[in-house]
Amino acid sequence: MTHRLAAVAAVLFLQCAAMGQQIVAHRGASFDAPENTLASFRLAWEQGADAIEGDFYLTSDGQIVCMHDKTTKRTTNADLPVAASTFEQLRALDAGSWKDPRYAGEQIPTLDEVLATVPPDKYILIEIKSGPEILPALKQSLDRAGLEPWQTRIICFKQEVITAVKQQLPELAAVWLSSYKQDEQTGAWTPTIDTVVETIQRLDADGFGSKAEDAVVDEAFVARLRQMDLHLNAWTVDEPEQFARYQQLGFDTITTNRPGFIKQLMAQAGQ
What pLDDT digit, counting tens, does each position of 124-176 carry?
999 999 999 999 999 999 999 999 999 999 999 999 999 999 999 999 999 99
Average pLDDT value for residue range 92-117: 98
Q: Tell me, what's the pLDDT at 15? A: 38
Peptide bond connecting 71 to the previous residue in cis, omega within 30 degrees of 0: no
98 band by pLDDT with thresholds 50, 70 and 90: very high
E-strand stretches of the chain: 22-26, 51-58, 64-66, 123-128, 152-156, 173-178, 181-182, 189-190, 207-211, 231-235, 253-256
What is d(CA 194, CA 199) in angstroms, rounded to the nearest whole number? 9
Q: Tell me, what's the pLDDT at 249? A: 98
Domain ranges of the chain: 20-58+113-268
Q: What is the tens place of the pLDDT at every residue in 41-59?
A: 999 999 999 999 999 999 9
What is d(CA 172, CA 170) in angstroms, rounded to the nearest whole number? 5
Q: What is the tens place of the pLDDT at every residue in 234-246?
A: 999 999 999 999 9
What is d(CA 235, CA 231) in angstroms, rounded to the nearest whole number? 13
What is d(CA 69, CA 76) in angstroms, rounded to the nearest whole number? 11
What is d(CA 202, CA 228) in angstroms, rounded to the nearest whole number? 12
Residue with the bigger pLDDT between 31 and 15: it is 31
Indicate if the pLDDT at residue 7 is higher than 50. no
Phi, psi of 81, deg, nearest 5: -75, 120
The number of angstroms, rounded, from the C-alpha of 159 to the middle of its chain's C-alpha atoms is: 17
Query: DSSP secondary-structure letter at 208?
Result: E
Angle (CA) 169-143-67 rounded to 5° is: 80
E-strand stretches of 123-190: 123-128, 152-156, 173-178, 181-182, 189-190
Indicate if the pLDDT at residue 17 is higher than 50. no
Biggest CA–CA distance in the chain, Å, is 53
Superfamily assignment of 20-58+113-268 in CATH? Answer: Phosphatidylinositol (PI) phosphodiesterase (3.20.20.190)
269 band by pLDDT with thresholds 50, 70 and 90: confident
Which pTM value belongs to this model?
0.93
Q: What is the tens place of the pLDDT at every residue in 187-239?
A: 999 999 999 999 999 999 999 999 999 999 999 999 999 999 899 999 999 99
Q: Is 150 exposed, middle or buried (0-12, 13-18, 19+ CB in 10 A)?
A: exposed
- Check: CB of residue 4 under 8 Å from CB of residue 263: no
- Percentage of the chain beyond pLDDT 70 is 93
- Check: CB of residue 216 under 8 Å from CB of residue 246: no
At 69, is the secondary structure helix, strand, or coil? coil
What is d(CA 245, CA 15) in angstroms, rounded to the nearest whole number? 10
The dihedral region occupied by 204, where left means phi > 0, alpha psi between -120 and 50, and beta the remainder, is: left
